[in-house]
């Protein structure tokens, strides 16, 4: 075997590609931590709801104190990531540089691990070349490199969970293995307890997998029904805890009224750049501390509903602007592209434009080729952003579906250069063997 052949084999290895993804994310982390004062990194990244709840947990005060004040129990966030962050605090100290580095490295590992299910999905729906190209694009995807450092939040974990859920959906669709369906249920429960917004795709993906598996392997309907029941059962303890603490049904998290109000309120400044609200964190923290979580969220729910009912035209206009921001990263992508002097900003805007166009083309080509996996590949990108269209949005919120957008874009480009096999995705056994 020639040296070139060995190099090509190495560069097509999913393990090598995942290692390269970890290298790019680690290099960015190392570069940024040299430029930013360490006392800033030790505190500022944790000055959010996840960091505050994690601190409370690490101090033995339970899942509480949302704004680092003694305000009692909270259900503002789903529990998984704050608990994970609290373990880092316990091991490396609360609000320390070591804790930040540990959290950022964990995010980088999670983001790099996305390579495996992403490769598996691409291998399944197309071919090995598409899988390799998609995985390498993930290595250098700007958001994939930036997010693990920029956000000490559940963002990177949500990316891994979303991509793995789609991959498992494709696997169970051709499987009667009950253990695989059990793993699917546990993974969905973990996803819901990490980022409940992912749940918008649950009924559609589970139903598609059940129908497909019933046709391909004659899987009894009781298996997917039990799978769904197990998902609910896994989430039940957290729901019971919330009911015990707040005396109302809160299945996963309570903050939706606040998120809806943030994007739809009478404080909205029509002339502010980017639709910025004149809302101060200090004032909202004070109100929350005075009234408590239940009363505070009830007030926000009433205000948001009143705004939407009284100003439906403005609500629709704001929703349209959020759709643009979700997919372009800014309300005025062309203007921002021409005005900015930042090369990075231009790269991000251009990447978002190409991903949006590539996603649309990829979905259409998948459907046109009658690929049996067109539906699950399209449903997540189509549905997941809806909650952010009506609340408030940013590229961070869209990030969990970015790997799927990359895959659909690569599929579209590959289909443009060659005829992909019609309705002949990689068989399950072959796919698993390659991985």
Residue 274 belongs to domain spanning: 11-33+113-434
Dist CA 56 CA 280 (whole Å): 23
Task: Establish if 266 belongs to a structural domain.
Answer: yes
Q: What is the predicted pLDDT for the residue at 345? A: 82
Q: What is the predicted pLDDT for the residue at 274? A: 44
Task: Establish if 49 belongs to a structural domain.
Answer: no
Dist CA 192 CA 317 (whole Å): 30
Task: Establish if 50 belongs to a structural domain.
Answer: no
Q: What is the predicted pLDDT for the residue at 81? A: 98
Task: Establish if 208 belongs to a structural domain.
Answer: yes
Task: Establish if 117 belongs to a structural domain.
Answer: yes
Q: What is the predicted pLDDT for the residue at 275? A: 44
- CA 42 to centroid of chain Cα atoms: 25
Task: Establish if 61 belongs to a structural domain.
Answer: no
Dist CA 148 CA 156 (whole Å): 6
Task: Establish if 201 belongs to a structural domain.
Answer: yes
SS (H, E, C) the chain: CCHHHHHHHHHCCHHHHHHHHHHHHHHHHHHHHHHCCHHHHCCHHHCCHHHHHHHHHHCCCCCECCCCCCCCECCCCCCHHHHHHHHHHHHHCCCCHHHHHHHHHHHHHHHHHCHHHHHHHHHHHCCHHHHHHHHHHHHHCHHHHHHHHHCCCCHHHHHHHHHHHHHHHHHHCCCCCHHHHHHHHHHHHHHHCCCHHHHHHHHHHHHHHHHHHHHHHCCCCHHHHHHHHHHHHHHHHHHHHHHHHHCCCCCCCCCHHHHHHHHCCCCECCCCHHHCECCCHHHHHHHHHHHCHHHHHHHHHHHHHHHHHHCHHHHHHHHHHHHHHHHHCCCCHHHHHHHCCCHHHHHHHHHHHHHHHHHHHHHHHHHHCCCCCHHHHHHHHHHCCHHHHHCCCCHHHHHHHHHHHHHHHHHHHHHHHCCCCCCCCCCHHHHHHHC
The total number of structural domains in the chain stands at 1
pLDDT per residue as tens, the chain (435 positions): 788 888 888 899 999 999 999 999 999 999 999 999 999 999 999 999 999 999 999 999 999 999 988 999 999 999 999 999 999 999 999 999 999 999 999 999 999 999 999 999 999 998 999 999 999 999 999 999 999 999 999 999 999 999 999 999 999 998 888 899 999 999 999 999 999 999 999 999 999 999 999 888 888 999 999 999 999 999 999 999 999 999 999 999 999 999 999 999 887 655 544 444 466 777 888 899 999 999 999 999 999 999 999 999 999 999 999 999 999 888 888 888 888 888 878 888 888 999 999 999 999 998 888 888 889 999 999 999 999 999 999 889 999 999 999 999 999 999 877 755 444 455 554 334 333
Task: Establish if 75 belongs to a structural domain.
Answer: no
């Amino acid at each position: 075997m020639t040296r070139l052949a060995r190099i090509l084999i190495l560069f097509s290895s999913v393990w090598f590609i995942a290692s390269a993804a970890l290298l790019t994310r680690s290099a960015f982390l190392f570069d940024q931590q040299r430029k930013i004062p360490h006392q800033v990194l030790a505190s500022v990244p944790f000055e959010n709801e996840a960091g505050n709840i994690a601190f409370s947990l690490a101090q033995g005060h339970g899942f509480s104190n949302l704004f680092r004040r003694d305000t009692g129990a909270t259900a503002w966030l789903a529990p998984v990531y704050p608990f994970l962050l609290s373990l880092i605090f316990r091991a490396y100290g609360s609000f320390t540089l070591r804790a930040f580095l540990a959290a950022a490295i964990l995010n980088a590992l999670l983001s790099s691990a996305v390579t495996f299910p992403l490769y598996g999905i691409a291998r399944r729906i197309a071919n090995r070349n598409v899988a390799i190209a998609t995985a390498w694009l993930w290595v250098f995807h700007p958001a994939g490199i930036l997010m693990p450092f920029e956000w000490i939040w559940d963002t990177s974990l949500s990316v891994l969970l979303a991509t793995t859920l789609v991959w498992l959906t494709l696997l169970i669709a051709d499987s009667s293995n009950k253990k695989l369906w059990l793993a699917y249920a546990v993974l969905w429960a973990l996803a819901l307890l990490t980022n409940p917004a992912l749940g918008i795709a649950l009924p559609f993906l589970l139903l598609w997998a059940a129908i497909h598996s019933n046709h391909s392997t004659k899987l009894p309907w009781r298996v997917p029904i039990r799978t769904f029941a197990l998902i609910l059962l896994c989430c039940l303890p957290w729901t019971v805890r919330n009911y015990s603490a707040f005396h109302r049904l809160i299945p996963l998290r309570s903050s939706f009224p606040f998120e809806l109000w943030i994007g739809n309120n009478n404080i909205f400044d029509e002339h502010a750049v980017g639709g910025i609200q004149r809302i101060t964190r200090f004032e909202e923290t004070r109100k929350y501390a005075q009234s408590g979580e239940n009363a505070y969220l009830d007030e926000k729910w009433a205000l948001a509903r009143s705004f939407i009912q009284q100003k439906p035209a403005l609500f629709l206009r704001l929703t349209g602007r959020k759709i643009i921001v979700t997919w372009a990263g800014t309300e005025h992508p062309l203007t921002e592209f021409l005005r900015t002097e930042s090369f990075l900003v231009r790269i991000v805007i251009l990447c978002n434009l190409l991903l949006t166009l590539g996603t649309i083309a990829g979905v259409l080509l998948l459907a046109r080729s009658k690929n049996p996996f067109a539906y699950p590949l399209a449903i997540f990108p189509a549905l997941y952003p809806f909650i952010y269209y009506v609340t408030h949005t940013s590229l961070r919120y869209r990030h969990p579906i970015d790997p799927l957008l990359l895959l659909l874009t690569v599929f579209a480009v590959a289909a443009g250069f060659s005829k992909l096999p019609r309705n002949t995705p990689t068989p399950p056994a072959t796919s698993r063997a390659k991985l």
